[in-house]
Amino acid sequence: MMPVSSRPQDSADRIYFTLVALIGGALMIYFALVPVFGLNVAFHFYLMLWITMASAFNVSSGFSGYLPFGYVAFYGIGAFTTAILVKKAAFPVFLALPFSGVAGLVLALLFAPTLRLSGIYFGIVSLALAGICRLVITNMPEEITGGSFGLQLGSRAHPVQSFYVMMAVMVVALATILWLSRSRLGKALRATRDDADAAEMMGINVPRVRLYGWMIAAFFPAVCGGVEAWYTNVVDTETAFNTLITAKTVIYAVAGGLGTVTGPIIGAVAMVWLDELIWRQFPLLNLLILGVATVALVLFLPRGIVGSILRRKPQWRRYVP
Amino acid sequence: MSIAIETRGLTKRFGGLVALDGVDLQAAAGETLGIIGVNGAGKTTLMNCICGLYRPDGGDVFISGERVTGQPPHVVAHKGIGRTFQVPRVFRKMSLIDNLLVPVLDHRASDAELTERAEGMLARMQLIDLRHNYAEELSGGQQKLLEMARMLMPDPPIVMLDEPFAGVHPVLCKFMIERIEEMSGAGKAVLLISHDLTSIYRLSTRVVALNQGKVIAEGGVDDIRGNPAVIEAYLGT
Ligand SMILES: Nc1ncnc2c1ncn2[C@@H]1O[C@H](COP(=O)(O)OP(=O)(O)O)[C@@H](O)[C@H]1O
Ligand SMILES: [Mg+2]
């Protein structure tokens, strides 16, 4: 038996972990049953993908204070890594996917010097670097990248298997971010985000902490790119490096609220549903309406759904993951 | 008494401006060294050079006899030096508790132990009821107290306070003065910057007067009080 303690912190923790278990459990059971009950696998596959992307992005922007406008670079590099390894090196998909993650980490290391920039300068350089990644891949020999036709993975497609792999990736990503949000590294990151010089003078090794956060933020989109390549069975530079991927990731994360674990999850769920609804009702106007909805959201809930609630209810901050 | 902190010939230039010009000073454990000077004398720059935020153009900084010149601020911090800022620099979107944990993140003690220590510290600073608030929700004076608490968390043997009383309510000033007395009482070397002479004269064991980056006088409170160079620097010619 654990000793029963009446410290308020412990009861806050109890509520926190109950919420984690409830939300996490509900998410997992729901998604696990999607193929079983013949629900829309494609829709839910992408829902999980966007939850993962928005959550990983949150590590960079919400926890660390960086806005990488070229976030899609990690996704694209991951997509091509899996596609090339599977198609050209005859790797089994399950072996190729971890290499996508590694490719994301390597790219994060290559981009690490840009972490010295801040604000809009970092964002613009990040956008330019994503463009360069895309150019490099576009100009690689066709025998490797498939040129403008892209790479077809052929008979490897397996929607249900890839669905569950996506689910595993999402669960690992969320668990990592949940850990991060309570860990000492997470506190160091937040301090660095709020005032890097002050954090440094309090003994935080700022460049190192930033690099760790950056690598976590890069790893998951790269794996997502790989899983999506497997799921759709085709990869080309046009879609794998599409700026809309960054835009959606940012919008979903911001809609839910940066800085909390639940924010990007709720943001992605709300916005992907909204997108789907609008698309079904108004197939021609869906981008316009989605744009208006996004603008309205930013105007009325500038801190996102979760962020705005916690602003009004500061006493809930301790309980909400 | 052992020298906790020492600078030798510390010099810092910003373009053509010489902000620090060969500053020598020493402070021993348990001593409060007051640093006075009008606005722009170089007091804050001195602190920034000591803690590694600025790389001095000349001279050296020693902490407990060890040369730390040119080391990055996080390395210098780990040598046992903490500080506050003229304009508070709290971690705005973090709770008070988390603010206090930042300087001890690499300590071996468990999270529970550190949290308990942080709560004790907040209680001493009369901020305990706000411990889950974000730092940005505090008033300016409270942010100064939070900075003091954060500075004290790793129990550094050397502390540097940059204008702790500037813009602070008199009641809070008195409270802060008591906390600073506790620090030197606990054997810390305190570097206390202020352009307000009354509080400096009350707290300091010794005073260094800076003007245009140069030490123009140094000594006990009584020596400084009557020093013509200091009077001239303060009142102008
Ligand atoms: N980062 C900086 N860049 C350029 N000049 C600076 C910088 N920091 C301080 N200075 C200049 O150095 C001189 C000393 O400033 P400071 O140390 O802030 O004075 P004090 O704290 O005594 O009021 C001032 O003339 C100030 O303008
Ligand atoms: Mg100053």
Per residue in B23-56, pLDDT tens?
Answer: 999 999 999 999 999 999 999 999 999 999 999 9
CB distance A20 to A178 below 8 Å: yes
The answer to whether A187 contacts B101, with C-beta atoms less than 8 Å apart, is: yes
For residue A120, report the distance from its CA to the centre of ligand 2, in Å.
29
What is the distance between the terminal CA atoms of chain A, rounded to a whole angstrom? 26
Distance (angstroms) between ligand 2 centre and the Cα of B199 equals 16
Q: Which of B47, B51, B102 to mutate to test the interface with A (most CBs of A within 10 A)?
A: B102
Shortest-distance ligand to the CA of residue B87 = 2
Closest CA to A153 of A98, A90, A100: A90
pTM: 0.93
pLDDT of residue A7: 60
Per-residue pLDDT at A143: 82
Nearest to B180 by CA among B154, B195, B200, B196: B200
Which residues, 6 or more positions from A137, have their beta carbon under 8 angstroms from its beta carbon?
A76, A80, A145, A237, A241
Ligand nearest to the CA of B18: 1
Q: Whose CA is nearest to atom 5 of ligand 1?
A: B14
Other C-beta atoms lying within 10 Å of the C-beta of residue A142:
9
Domain boundaries in chain B?
Answer: 3-235
Smallest Cβ–Cβ distance between A202 and the set B72, B102, B111 belongs to: B102
The pLDDT tens digits for A55-109 are 999 999 999 999 999 999 999 999 999 999 999 898 999 999 999 999 999 999 9
A194: nearest CB among B77, B93, B103:
B93
Interchain CB distance below 8 Å, A201 and B102: no
Residue among B204, B220, B206, B188 nearest B64 (CA): B188
Nearest CA in chain B to A63: B93
DSSP state letter for B165: T
Q: Band of the pLDDT at A9, cuts 50, 70, 90?
A: low
CA A60 – CA A68 distance, rounded (Å):
8
SS3 at position B218: strand
Given an 8 Å threshold on Cβ–Cβ distance, is B89 in contact with A259? Answer: no
Cα gap A110→A104, rounded to integer Å: 10
CATH class of B3-235: alpha beta
Report the alpha-carbon distance of residue A109 to residue A210 in Å, rounded.
11
d(CA B195, CA B191): 13
pLDDT at A1: 42
Domains of chain A, with CATH numbers? 15-318 (1.10.3470)
What was the ipTM of the complex prediction? 0.94
- A65 → chain B, closest CA residue: B93
Q: Whose CA is nearest to atom 2 of ligand 1?
A: B14
- Please, are residues B132 and A16 in contact by the beta-carbon 8 Å criterion? no
Q: Are B84 and B128 in contact (CB under 8 A)?
A: no
DSSP assignment string, A277-307: HHHHH-TTTHHHHHHHHHHHHHHH-TTHHHH
What is the rounded average pLDDT of the residues B193-211?
91
Check CB contact under 8 Å for B92 and A188: no
Our CA-based measurement puts residue A83 at a distance from the nearest CA of chain B, in whole angstroms, of: 41
d(CA A180, CA B4): 37
- Which ligand gives the minimal distance to the CA of B162? 2
Query: How far does chain B reach from its first CA to its final CA, in angstroms?
Result: 39
Average pLDDT over residues A257-277: 92
Q: How many CB atoms lie within 10 A of CB A39?
A: 12
Pocket test for ligand 1, best of B45, B51, B161, B194 (most atoms within 8 A of CB): B45
Residue identified by tokens 């722009």 is: B40
pLDDT score, position A3: 47
CB–CB contact A197 B83 (8 Å)? no
Higher pLDDT, A240 or B234: A240
Measured between beta carbons, which residues in chain A are less than 8 angstroms from residue B51?
Answer: 201
pLDDT at A12: 84
pLDDT at A241: 95
Query: pLDDT at position B173, please?
Result: 92
From A318, which residue of chain B is nearest by alpha-carbon distance? B132
**Does A288 score more than 70 pLDDT?**
yes
- Output the pLDDT for position B184: 95
Determine the pLDDT at residue B6: 96
pLDDT tens-digit series, residues A149-201: 788 887 778 889 999 999 999 999 999 999 999 999 999 999 999 999 999 99
**Is residue B125 within 8 Å of B148, Cβ to Cβ?**
yes
Q: pLDDT of A209-262, one tens digit each?
A: 999 999 999 999 999 999 999 999 999 998 999 999 999 999 999 999 999 999
Cα(A213)–Cα(A176) distance, integer angstroms: 11
Q: How high is the pLDDT of residue B237?
A: 52
Q: Which residues line ligand 1 (CB under 6 A)?
A: B 14, 17, 19, 37, 39-45
Distance from CA of A2 to the nearest CA of B (A): 15
In this structure, the number of other CB atoms found within 10 A of the CB of residue A43 comes to 12
Nearest CA to ligand 1 atom 4: B14
Q: Which of B50, B58, B1, B44 is nearest to B25 (CA)?
A: B50
Give distance in angstroms: CA of B202 to centre of ligand 2: 20
